A = this chain, B = another copy of it.
């Protein structure tokens, strides 16, 4: 029934999005149409990814989700950076980190927990990820912010480039570690998805995934153009749009997939999506944007604002202590959602 609803929404909103954009309909209305179109497309991305995950195993499945989930963020960020909107880019990266750790994981744990009393996931991954989150969000983002007040602007950019290079090397070392060197070394009991039939075969899943991803990228681009008018209409600041609105819509694909997986008790994939996506934003997208900005007129140092840093650091610490036992329930999901709500209120008022 949900699937029929989403199919109907897709059939109505996606063509409407392109036609309305072409004809120049009112921005506030089109903002809603674009958002619904992305959400419905995201559900197809989710189902296609799930089919591929059944064929490819949880690790590759998680990686697929992360890749297709972050295409939107990367695209928006590159265009915004090219246009010189540094603060919106940093805000949307902040929002991606916070919403993956608190909103995506929170909804998965809460909704999954309404069905199952206790859900478990690989405790070795949880602990590995704790160290990585500490490294990339807490150390690599906080450290330059503290040292910046003792440095010149040129030195800050030098430090940012060095840190970006180190983070990218570590990111590729992580992929090598997970996929080659230690593939399966830390595996615990599987989620049991090998017993299941995929909804679509490999070829069909790839076609749906690819076309939905391309459509999402186009509509995201249109969506960005409506932000200015929508912000004025609803009284939202740029920071709130960047941290909360872009992140919720931009993460809807991960969100829907992670909840679907939680609902099927495949918590390894849910957690892989939430943390994997955070790590990809922090260790790959962010340093890549720092290096890309060297080719552009406006350079982007690795300097988040104080509210953004505090929100990210608190989110990381909270999620680490929620994740670290490899055991979830609805109440732990509720804690994460309450934290997301508090942070959202803060950015709304600021």
Known A325-B127, A346-B144: A138·B317 in contact at CB below 8 Å: yes
Q: Which of B135, B307, B329, B332 contacts A339 (CB 8 A)?
A: B135
Q: Write out the residue numbers on chain B whose beta carbons fall within 8 Å of the beta carbon of A142.
A: 310, 314
Number of copies of chain A assembled together: 3
Known A143-B311, A185-B118, A334-B170: A131·B349 in contact at CB below 8 Å: no
Chain B's closest residue to A305 (CB) is B150
Q: Write out the residue numbers on chain B whose beta carbons fall within 8 Å of the beta carbon of A318.
A: 131, 134-135, 138-139
A342 at the interface (CB under 8 A from B): yes
Chain B's closest residue to A310 (CB) is B146
Interface size on A, residues (CB 8 A): 63
Report the Cα distance A324→B117, complex, angstroms.
22
Asked whether A143 lies within 8 Å of B343 as measured between CB atoms, the reply is yes
- Closest beta carbon of chain B to A237's beta carbon, Å: 11
Asked whether B181 lies within 8 Å of A341 as measured between CB atoms, the reply is no
Known A143-B310, A321-B130, A345-B159: A335·B170 in contact at CB below 8 Å: yes
- Closest beta carbon of chain B to A341's beta carbon, Å: 6
Q: Write out the residue numbers on chain B whose beta carbons fall within 8 Å of the beta carbon of A143.
A: 310-311, 314, 342-343, 346
Asked whether B146 lies within 8 Å of A307 as measured between CB atoms, the reply is yes
Asked whether B314 lies within 8 Å of A162 as measured between CB atoms, the reply is no
Contact pattern, A 312-350, Cβ under 8 Å of B = 1, otherwise 0: 001001101110110101111011001101110110011
Q: Write out the residue numbers on chain B whose beta carbons fall within 8 Å of the beta carbon of A332.
A: 128, 131
Q: Write out the residue numbers on chain B whose beta carbons fall within 8 Å of the beta carbon of A159.
A: 345-346, 349
Chain B's closest residue to A145 (CB) is B310
Chain B's closest residue to A325 (CB) is B127
- Closest beta carbon of chain B to A308's beta carbon, Å: 11
Q: Write out the residue numbers on chain B whose beta carbons fall within 8 Å of the beta carbon of A181.
A: 330-331
Asked whether A135 lies within 8 Å of B335 as measured between CB atoms, the reply is yes
Which A residues have a C-beta under 8 Å from some C-beta of B? 117-118, 124, 127-128, 130-132, 134-135, 138-140, 142-144, 146-147, 150-151, 155, 158-159, 162-163, 166-167, 169-170, 173-174, 177, 181-182, 185, 306-307, 310-311, 314, 317-318, 320-322, 324-325, 327, 329-332, 334-335, 338-339, 341-343, 345-346, 349-350
